[in-house]
Structures are given as C-alpha cells and as structure tokens.
Amino acid sequence: MPASMGEDPIGPWLSEDRAEEDVTSRSLIPEDAEAEAEICTKQPLVVAGLDTACRVLETDGVTVDPEVEDGQRVDAGELLAEAHGPAHPLLARERTALNVLAHLSGIATRTAEIVDRVDETDAECEVLATRKTTPGLREREHEAVRLGGGRPHRDNLAGSVLVKENHLAFVSVDEAVEAARSNAGDQTVIVEAETADEARAVARASADGVLLDNVDPEGLGDLVELLKRLEPSLTVEASGGITLGTVADHAPHVDRVSLGSLTHSAPAADVTMLVEPV
C-alpha cells in the first residue's frame, strides 16, 4: 500500500478484536507452541491488501513470506503467503488479517470484472469508483480499485467540483458553473443530471462534464451525441444502478462509468488461513 495512507490502523483493528486476550488460544495451546500457516484463495481473484494483511500478522516473532503481489491475478487454490512463528499471535491475528485481505481483494476483483466487461465492448470508457467507502478505509479501498484497473472519481471533496441535486436546490445549473469557475480555481466542474433536459442545460453551461444519474441505456447513444454537439469537450459519465450485468449497455456510449458498488457492495474474496503446529 502507498506510504501516504494516513495513520497505521493495525493497532486499533487488533484492539477492537482484543487480540492480546484470545481466551480460546490461551486456554488450549501452550504459550511456547510454534506454528506455520498458509494463506490461500478458494477463488480466482485480483490480490489487494496482502501487504497490509502480512503486516497484521508480523509481530512477536511471526514472519510472513508473501508468494504473490498486490495487483496480481491468481487462480483458485493458489498460495498467497506463508507464515511461521509462535502459535498464539498467529491465531489471534488470523481473522483481522483475512478480513482485510478478503475485503480489499473483493473490491479489486469486482473492479477487474467490470473493467474486463467494458473491454469486451471495445469501448474507450474508464471505470470509476465513488466516495461510497467505509469510513477510515477509503484510501485502501480506492487503492484496491486501482489494482483492479479502475480509479476513483475523486478521492475526497477537495478533488473536483461535483454539483449534485442538493446543490441545485440553491442555484441553477448556469449559476453553479459560473460560481465554480469563479471560486474553485482550475478545478474540474462536473454537474449531475437526472433527465435529458438537465443534461442539455449542463452542456449549454459549458461545464467540463455531466454525470448522467440513473439514465436508461436505451437512447443513451443519441443523448450523448446531442450533448457532444452542444459542447464537444464535455466528458459524459454514466452512474447509478450500473452492475456487472448492465455495464456493457452503458460503456459504448459514454466516456466513463462510475459505480458505488465497487467499494460498498463488492463480495468479499474467499480466502483462508490454515495453521499447523510444528
């Protein structure tokens, strides 16, 4: 993971699970017991979060040797990492390590599936994630999206101007674009539109981009063609309700698609850690 990812969350994660008070392991297993462990995947996936998962395990004499790298595509049954050391910390930290690995690999894998589906259409369309992320995990979740071949729409509220429905309760589209140009420096200005009329208003206002929210893919090509005639430099993005099953209907018509589900609903990857005494 990039070194810029804020404070190290591993301590709080382990405190939450009270890893130092693993009553089961302490009751059943001698304190000086040694063990080895294999972390494997039960499904094809794009690896993400392995570096962080290894750091969760590396303590009190435990060493971890990764066999693959974040961003790598692997097959079901493949060995991801091996660990060796005292049994107690291995067992106490197992679930936290697997939770991180499963969650982030799930995001990377679903992103890669969406990117692959878009590529099958031969569309020059980017796949974007949104800010619908787990509090405290955004940078890691967005990095998982990048590992899967996508990128964030924006990392945070300072990343660009995105005028949404609730902003337009206060100002018109024209007023919003003009104010953003005046007050936000050289930030990209994107305006959300829920209807064709709203989208045309965004194009006429010379925004940098329009985000078509929950627009039916039927007739989308004609609408985008019209918008590009009104403002040739306009970036057109489709969002809202797009899934693995429907992204191919949108991608050929737009410059990019954004899916909140990449981070808030990606299925966790099926990974496991098997521990054996030595």
The set of residues, in sequence order, having a beta carbon less than 8 Å from that of 7 and lying 6+ positions away, is none
**pLDDT of amino acid 8:** 83
What does the alpha-carbon distance between residue 177 and residue 180 come to, in Å, rounded to a whole number? 5
- pLDDT > 60? residue 4: no
Assign 3-class secondary structure to 135-198.
Answer: CCCHHHHHHHHHHCCCEECCCCCCCCEEECCCCCCCCCHHHHHHHHHHHCCCCCEEEEECCHHH
Looking at residue 65, the DSSP 8-state letter turns out to be E
CA 251 to each of CA 188, 190, 240: distance values in angstroms, whole numbers, following the listed order: 22, 19, 13
Which is the catalytic residue, given 73, 132, 146, 181? 132
Which is the catalytic residue, given 22, 94, 143, 192? 192
Distance of alpha carbon 42 from the chain centroid: 21
Which is the catalytic residue, given 69, 164, 165, 229? 164
Reading the block at residue 127, the tokens are: 């796949």
Which is the catalytic residue, given 42, 95, 124, 175? 95
Known catalytic residue at 143: no
For the chain, the distance separating the N- and C-terminal CA atoms, rounded to the nearest angstrom, is: 31
Known catalytic residue at 132: yes
- pLDDT > 50? residue 2: no
Known catalytic residue at 164: yes
CB atoms within 10 A of CB 202: 29
The chain-wide mean pLDDT, for the chain, equals 95
- pLDDT > 70? residue 95: yes
CB atoms within 10 A of CB 157: 9
- pLDDT > 90? residue 3: no
* Residues 109-147: tens digit of each pLDDT: 999 999 999 999 999 999 999 999 999 999 999 999 999
Known catalytic residue at 146: no
Q: In what order do the strands lie in the sheet with 189-193?
A: 151-152, 126-129, 256-258, 235-239, 209-213, 189-193, 161-163
| Domains present along the chain, CATH in parentheses | 10-114+266-277 (3.90.1170.20), 122-264 (3.20.20.70)
- pLDDT > 60? residue 6: no
What does the alpha-carbon distance between residue 269 and residue 105 come to, in Å, rounded to a whole number? 6
Known catalytic residue at 78: no
**pLDDT tier at 252 (50, 70, 90 boundaries)?**
very high
Which is the catalytic residue, given 70, 94, 213, 231? 213
What does the alpha-carbon distance between residue 197 and residue 164 come to, in Å, rounded to a whole number? 15
* Residues 22-50: tens digit of each pLDDT: 999 999 999 999 999 999 999 999 999 99
